[in-house]
C-alpha cells in the first residue's frame, strides 16, 4: 500500500527546501538516503533539480565546480554515516580552495542518540577542522536560523569563504513549524559583503606602484570575478601579469601584459608583486626571497588570511579586489617602470611561446606509444579560437594540461592536488555552460577515482568529453622512483585497461586510440557524441615539465627542485 508521509508543507524538511528556493538554489548534488529523504522529496515537490551521483565525494566535487564557474554557492546533500564520511576529501579540497559550499547531511533521530543506531558517527567533529561551520540543528523552530548561519559562513560573512556543514535529525525534519516562527530575514537571499578599501591604503599602494621599476600583478582566487577591473588596470599601467591555477583565463593569453611563459625570470627579477586574492603557498614558492629575490609585496584580498601568510605586504588591503583595483586604476599616474626590462621579459615570453608552437613533436615515445602532447594539438586544431571549458585532472598529465589546454574557462586539481575531480567537475560544468563543449583531460590513475560517474553523465546527458591519457602508470611517482630511489619501481604500475569499453558499458560513446594518425578524428567524433570517452594509449616515457622539475620528489624547502636548490644556496650564503 502506497503511503505519503511527507505531506506537511510546514515541516522542517519543507522549510529547508523552501529556504533553498528563496536563495535561488535550483541545482543540488547528492546521493539519497533514508535520513535525508524528507528534504529530498520536497526538492522534487519544489522543482529543485538533483544530480544524483554514485559516490558522495563526487557530489562535493560537483558542488565545488558549480560554485567556481557560477560564483554562487554550491549545494550538496548526503545521508548519515558513510554518506557524510565519503565527503571528507571533497570538503577538504573545497576548504583549501575557499569555495563556498553548503553541505546538508542526515543524522540519527534524537530518541536513538547514543544507543548504537544505524549510521551514527560524530559527523560534526569529523568535519569541523575542514569547514567554516559545522553544527547539528536539533530545535525545530531554530533549524532555518541555523541554516541561514551555515549559508552565511560559507559565503564569507564571518571571514573566509568555504564549505559549511549542517545536519538535522530525521525526526526533527518531520516536525511541524508554524510560519510565524520562521523569520523573513532568515529566509531572504544573502550575498557576500562588499568591503571598501581604506583611502590611505589606496594612496600607499598607488605611490608604491608608481615608484616600482619592475612591478608585476599576480592574480588568484579572489580576482576571478573581476576580469574587467584587472584588464583595465593592466591596460592603463602596462604592468606585467602572471596568473595562477585559480585565475586561468581571467586575462587572455594574447594580452600584452600576460607573460606566462617567462614566469621564472619574472619572479626572480620583479621588485614589487601586487598579489590579488592569493596566498603565498607552495605554488608561489611561499614568496621566498630565494625566488623573489628583490620583491616587496602589496597584498589585496577580501579574506584576511590571504594577506598575512609568509610575506607581509605594504599595504595589506582587506577589501573587495575589484573595488581596490578600480580605485588604484582611477588614481594612478605615470609609472617609473624599467621599460627595457619589461621589453626583455615580453620578448622572452614571445620567443618561448613561438618555440613551443613551432616545435616538432614526435608522434611516439621511445616505447612506441602516443606522445600525450598530441592530445592538445588535436584539441587546438578542433577548437581553433572557439571557446570551450577545459578541465584537467591527474599528476603528470596535469602538467601537460596546464600548458596545452587553451580554454578560457579552466579548472584543475588545485592547491590540494586532489585527484579524481575531472569527471565530477565536467558534469557540473555541463550544467553551467549549456552551449559550450566540456573537455576533460585526465590520467588513467586519476580517472579511476570517479570513473563510475560516467553513469551520472549518461543519465544527465552531460555534454562532456573525457580524454584519458592511458599510460598504465602513476607516472610522476614512477619517474621519482627511477630517479631518486635506485630505479626501484614498485606499486606504481597500472594496466592499459580498456576505458572505452567501460564507457560503452555505461551507455557513453567510447573509442580507444593506439595510432596517432587516428587521434584527431577520434577526438572530433567524441566531441560530437557526448558524453564520451577517448582512451588514448600514451607513452609513460615522455616526461612533463613538472616531472623534469622534480615535483614527484618531496624536497625539504620547496616543491620544485630548481626552487629548492635556490633556497639551499640562499640559506648557505
Catalytic residue numbers, as ranges = 477
Taking the CA atoms of 60, 62, 63 and 69 in sequence, report the sign of the dihedral they define.
positive
Residue 513, H or E segment: strand 509-513
Query: Rounded to an integer, what distance in angstroms lies between the CA atom of residue 157 and that of residue 527?
Result: 41
Cell 557540473 sits on residue: 428
Query: Rounded to an integer, what distance in angstroms lies between the CA atom of residue 76 and that of residue 90?
Result: 11
Q: 94 — phi, psi (to 5°)?
A: -65, -35
Backbone conformation region of residue 486, classed left if phi is above 0, alpha if psi is from -120 to 50, else beta:
left
Query: Rounded to an integer, what distance in angstroms lies between the CA atom of residue 297 and that of residue 311?
Result: 8
Give, to the nearest 10 degrees, the angle between helix 56-70 and helix 88-96. Answer: 20
DSSP readout, 417-430? T-TT-HHHHHHHHH
Please answer whether residues 524 and 501 qualify as being in contact, where contact means their C-beta atoms are separated by less than 8 angstroms.
Answer: no
Please answer whether residues 469 and 74 qualify as being in contact, where contact means their C-beta atoms are separated by less than 8 angstroms.
Answer: no
Decide the pairing of beta strands 215-219 and 272-276. Answer: parallel
Please answer whether residues 335 and 209 qualify as being in contact, where contact means their C-beta atoms are separated by less than 8 angstroms.
Answer: yes
Please answer whether residues 122 and 142 qualify as being in contact, where contact means their C-beta atoms are separated by less than 8 angstroms.
Answer: no
Query: Rounded to an integer, what distance in angstroms lies between the CA atom of residue 505 and that of residue 442?
Result: 20
88 burial level (CB within 10 Å; 0-12, 13-18, 19+): middle
Query: Rounded to an integer, what distance in angstroms lies between the CA atom of residue 465 and that of residue 508?
Result: 10
Cis peptide before 381 (omega within 30 of 0): no
Of 328, 377, 302, the closest CA to residue 98 belongs to 302
22 burial level (CB within 10 Å; 0-12, 13-18, 19+): middle
Alpha helices for 238-287 (secondary structure H): 263-269
Query: Rounded to an integer, what distance in angstroms lies between the CA atom of residue 82 and that of residue 483?
Result: 40
Amino acid at each position: 500500500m502506497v503511503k505519503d508521509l511527507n505531506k506537511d508543507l510546514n515541516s522542517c524538511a519543507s522549510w529547508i527546501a523552501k529556504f533553498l528556493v528563496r536563495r535561488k538554489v535550483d541545482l543540488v548534488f547528492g546521493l539519497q538516503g533514508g535520513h535525508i529523504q524528507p528534504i529530498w522529496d520536497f526538492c522534487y515537490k519544489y522543482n529543485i533539480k538533483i544530480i544524483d551521483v554514485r559516490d558522495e565525494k563526487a557530489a562535493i566535487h560537483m558542488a565545488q565546480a558549480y560554485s567556481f564557474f557560477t560564483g554562487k554557492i554550491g549545494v550538496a546533500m548526503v545521508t548519515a554515516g558513510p554518506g557524510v564520511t565519503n565527503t571528507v576529501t571533497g570538503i577538504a579540497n573545497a576548504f583549501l580552495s575557499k569555495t563556498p559550499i553548503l553541505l546538508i547531511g542526515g543524522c540519527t533521530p534524537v530518541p536513538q542518540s547514543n544507543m548504537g543506531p544505524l549510521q551514527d558517527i560524530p559527523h560534526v567533529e569529523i568535519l569541523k577542522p575542514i569547514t567554516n561551520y559545522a553544527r547539528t540543528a536539533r530545535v525545530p523552530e531554530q533549524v532555518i536560523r541555523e541554516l541561514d548561519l551555515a549559508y552565511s559562513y560559507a559565503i564569507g560573512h564571518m571571514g573566509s569563504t568555504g564549505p559549511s556543514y549542517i545536519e538535522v535529525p530525521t525526526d526533527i525534519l518531520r516536525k511541524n513549524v508554524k510560519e510565524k516562527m520562521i523569520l523573513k530575514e532568515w529566509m531572504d537571499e544573502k550575498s557576500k559583503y562588499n568591503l571598501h578599501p581604506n583611502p590611505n591604503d589606496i594612496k600607499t599602494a598607488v605611490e608604491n606602484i608608481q615608484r616600482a621599476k619592475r612591478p608585476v600583478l599576480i592574480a588568484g582566487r579572489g580576482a576571478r570575478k573581476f576580469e574587467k577591473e584587472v584588464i583595465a588596470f593592466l591596460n592603463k599601467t602596462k604592468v606585467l601579469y602572471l596568473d595562477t591555477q585559480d585565475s586561468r583565463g581571467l586575462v587572455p593569453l594574447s594580452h600584452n601584459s600576460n607573460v606566462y611563459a617567462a614566469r621564472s625570470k619574472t619572479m626572480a627579477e620583479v621588485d614589487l608583486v601586487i598579489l590579488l586574492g592569493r596566498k603565498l603557498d607552495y605554488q608561489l614558492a611561499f614568496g621566498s626571497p630565494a625566488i623573489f629575490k628583490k620583491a616587496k609585496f602589496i597584498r589585496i584580498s577580501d579574506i584576511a588570511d590571504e594577506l598575512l601568510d609568509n610575506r607581509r605586504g605594504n599595504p595589506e588591503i582587506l577589501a573587495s579586489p575589484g573595488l581596490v583595483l578600480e580605485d588604484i586604476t582611477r588614481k594612478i599616474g605615470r609609472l617609473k617602470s624599467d621599460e627595457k626590462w619589461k621589453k626583455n621579459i615580453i620578448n622572452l615570453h614571445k620567443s618561448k611561446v613561438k618555440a613551443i608552437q613551432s616545435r616538432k613533436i614526435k608522434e611516439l615515445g621511445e616505447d612506441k606509444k602516443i606522445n600525450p602532447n598530441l592530445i592538445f594539438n588535436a584539441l587546438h586544431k578542433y577548437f581553433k579560437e572557439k571557446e570551450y571549458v577545459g578541465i584537467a585532472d591527474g599528476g603528470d598529465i596535469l602538467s601537460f594540461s596546464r600548458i596545452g589546454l587553451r580554454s578560457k574557462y579552466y579548472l584543475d586539481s588545485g592547491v590540494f592536488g586532489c585527484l579524481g575531480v575531472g569527471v565530477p567537475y565536467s558534469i557540473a560544468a555541463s550544467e553551467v555552460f549549456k552551449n559550450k563543449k566540456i573537455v576533460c583531460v585526465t590520467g588513467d590513475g586519476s580517472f579511476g577515482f570517479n570513473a563510475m560517474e560516467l553513469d551520472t553523465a549518461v543519465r544527465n546527458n552531460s555534454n562532456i568529453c573525457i580524454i584519458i591519457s592511458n599510460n598504465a602508470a602513476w607516472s610522476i611517482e614512477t619517474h621519482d622512483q627511477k630517479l631518486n630511489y635506485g630505479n626501484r619501481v614498485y606499486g606504481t604500475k597500472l594496466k592499459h585497461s580498456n576505458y572505452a569499453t567501460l564507457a560503452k558499458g555505461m551507455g557513453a560513446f567510447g573509442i580507444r586510440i593506439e595510432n596517432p594518425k587516428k587521434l584527431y578524428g577520434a577526438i572530433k567524433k567524441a566531441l560530437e557524441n557526448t558524453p564520451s570517452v577517448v582512451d588514448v594509449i600514451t607513452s609513460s616515457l615522455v616526461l612533463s615539465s613538472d616531472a623534469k622539475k622534480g615535483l614527484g620528489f618531496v624536497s625539504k624547502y620547496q616543491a620544485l627542485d630548481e626552487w629548492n636548490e635556490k633556497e639551499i644556496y640562499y640559506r648557505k650564503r
